[in-house]
């Protein structure tokens, strides 16, 4: 059985990021019985970022999986054994959410060697990074996964980015103080792009699953 772990770094269970990740999961599972998909919602977990305990760097006992014990521990252990990894986050103030960043500290610090600055994960695997945001392709403030993208590329392999732009932030714009957005323009963009975004997520899931199943 090949395993794909999907990490949802957004707070809303039924909005844009969750929908993109669910479509990715549907695409992966469409490949058949040989694929197991585990969806993890970071906002459901009680965990810390890197505690700088340095337990992963003790001489003779160095580990490329974080040794700090909390609700993230079984997830990090699962990723170490996985065959594919998907990270999804809304863009908040130009970056991924705090929860996603905090998770990435725990994932990536044990990969980094302070002896030679190499990056080594327990296993290399395909990675997809999903972002959803208000911005447009030609005008957005997203740094995406920022410096963490370099760590992911070095340790796991070059990630594929999957971005949904100009998403609907609320279901009904008339109920909120959101006059800076034209609901009409949002609706038009959504009608032209959202189904396509979801289809791209589905196809990316199918492609990842097909790739890992033939490994
Ligand atoms: C706290 C906060 C900050 C945001 N900052 C940005 C931003 O910097 N750039 C942007 O394009 N969208 C920004 N957005 C919009 C979200 O990224 C966008 O609505 C996203 O699709 C929400 O994902 P969700 O529907 O899965 O919750 C922000 C939203 C919130 C709540």
Instruction: Give pLDDT tens digits for 81-119.
Output: 999 999 999 999 999 999 999 999 999 999 999 999 999
pLDDT tens, position by position, 34-52: 999 999 999 999 999 999 9
User: Where residue 62 falls among pLDDT bands split at 50, 70, 90?
Assistant: very high
Q: Indicate which residue's Cα is closest to atom 5 of ligand 1.
A: 92
Q: Measuring CA to CA, which residue among 126, 116, 131 is closest to residue 156?
A: 126
Taking the model in full, what pTM does it have? Answer: 0.97
Q: Can you tell me the distance from the alpha carbon of 81 to that of 1, in angstroms, rounded to the nearest whole number? A: 11
CA-CA distance, 119 to 112, in Å (whole number)? 5
Distance 91 CA to ligand 1 centre (A): 5
CB–CB of 80/123 below 8 Å? yes
Condensed to tens digits (0 to 9), the pLDDT of residues 115-173 reads 999 999 999 999 999 999 999 999 999 999 999 999 999 999 999 999 999 999 999 99
Contact (CB, 8 A) for 145 and 160 = no
Q: Whose CA is nearest to atom 24 of ligand 1?
A: 16
Q: Which of 92, 100, 145 to mutate to test the pocket of ligand 1 (most atoms within 8 A of CB)?
A: 92
Mean pLDDT of the chain: 97
Ligand 1 atom nearest to CA at 91: 17
User: What is the distance in A from the centroid of ligand 1 to the CA of 166?
Assistant: 9
Helix/strand/coil for 128: strand
Q: Is the CB of 16 under 6 A from ligand 1?
A: yes
215: confidence class by pLDDT, cuts 50, 70, 90: confident
User: Domains, the chain, ranges and CATH?
Assistant: 2-213 (3.40.50.360)
DSSP assignment string, 51-85: ----GGG-TT---SS----STTHHHHHHHHH-SEE
CA of 90 to the centre of ligand 1 (A): 5
Q: Tell me what pLDDT residue 43 has.
A: 98
Q: CA neighbours within 13 Å on the CB side: how many for 127?
A: 23
Q: How far is the CA of 39 from the centre of ligand 1 (A)?
A: 21
Return d(Cα 124, Cα 143) in angstroms, integer: 24
Distance from the CA of 164 to the center of ligand 1, in angstroms?
A: 11
């Amino acid at each position: 059985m090949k395993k794909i772990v999907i990490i949802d770094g957004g707070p809303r269970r039924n909005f844009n990021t969750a929908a993109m990740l669910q479509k990715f999961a549907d695409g992966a599972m469409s490949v058949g019985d040989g694929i197991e998909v585990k969806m993890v919602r970071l906002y459901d977990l009680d965990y810390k970022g890197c505690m700088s305990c340095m337990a992963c760097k003790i001489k003779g006992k160095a580990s490329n999986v974080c040794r700090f014990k909390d609700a993230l521990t079984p997830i990090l252990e699962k990723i170490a054994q996985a065959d594919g990894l998907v990270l999804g986050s809304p863009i908040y103030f130009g970056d991924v959410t705090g929860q996603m960043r905090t998770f990435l500290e725990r994932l990536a610090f044990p990969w980094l060697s302070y002896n030679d600055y190499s990056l080594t994960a327990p296993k290399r695997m395909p990675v997809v990074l999903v972002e959803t945001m208000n911005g447009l392709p030609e005008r957005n403030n997203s740094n995406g996964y920022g410096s963490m993208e370099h760590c992911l590329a070095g340790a796991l392999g070059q990630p594929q980015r999957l971005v949904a732009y100009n998403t609907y932030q609320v279901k009904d714009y008339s109920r909120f103080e959101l006059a800076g957005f034209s609901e009409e323009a949002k609706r038009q963009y959504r009608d032209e792009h959202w189904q396509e975004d979801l289809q791209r997520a589905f196809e990316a899931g199918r492609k990842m699953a097909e790739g890992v199943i033939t490994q």
